Amino acid sequence: MSRIGKKPVEMPSGVEASVSGQTVTVKGPKGTRSFTATDDVTITVDGNVITVEPRGKSKRAKQQWGMSRTMLGNLVTGVSAGFKKELEINGVGYRAQAQGNVLKLNLGYSHEVNFDVPEGVTVTTPKQTEVVVEGIDQQLVGQVAANIREWRAPEPYKGKGIKYKDEYIFRKEGKKK
């Protein structure tokens, strides 16, 4: 039995949802997002509450129940507050600079890395060593942050590289004489 599926999704003021078949469209101050659920669940909108119910007792229906509710919760959060990932750059000479839809990264390579920011995500650099990725699609924000981090993942000896702001890098001791 899904425990998360039982909990209804509450929409804050300024957010409205509509159901058309198995497709739910959520509109808010930050934009519009939609999600198409499988035929294993029934989605209803009552005022400012979205509820999800399974259409049977099968294992797949129970799985889709919780997953659909979580996806709808993420849609509501995305169009109302948005999602944000913060990255830190550690290392001598490592820096980032956002110029339009291109993020320029100096990461110790012989060349400058130009990262093209996809549509639907904004990347800002409050400091040269900080990168903030924001958007209304949680999956896209996380993927863009992971792609930026992939250029120079943090290493365990000195901690140089790009890491998430809340990430802990397990440090190793270097060679001994």
- State pLDDT tens for residues 105-115: 999 999 999 99
> What is the C-alpha separation between 43 and 54, in angstroms, rounded?
9
83-164 belongs to which homologous superfamily? Answer: Ribosomal protein L6 (3.90.930.12)
* pTM of the entire predicted model: 0.88
CB 74 within 8 A of CB 90: no
Phi and psi at 68, nearest 5°, equal -65, -40
Matching CATH number, 9-80, of 3.40.50.1820, 1.10.760.10, 3.40.50.1980, 3.90.930.12 = 3.90.930.12
CB 85 within 8 A of CB 73: no
Domain boundaries, the chain: 9-80, 83-164
What strand order describes the sheet that includes 31-36? 16-20, 23-28, 31-36
Q: What's the pLDDT tens digit per position in 9-67?
A: 999 999 999 999 999 999 999 999 999 999 999 999 998 999 999 999 999 999 999 99
CA 160, chain centre distance (Å) = 24
Q: What is the pLDDT of residue 2?
A: 65
Q: What is the pLDDT of residue 30?
A: 93
> What is the C-alpha separation between 54 and 3, in angstroms, rounded?
12
Q: What is the pLDDT of residue 1?
A: 60
The answer to whether 9-80 and 83-164 have equal CATH topology is yes
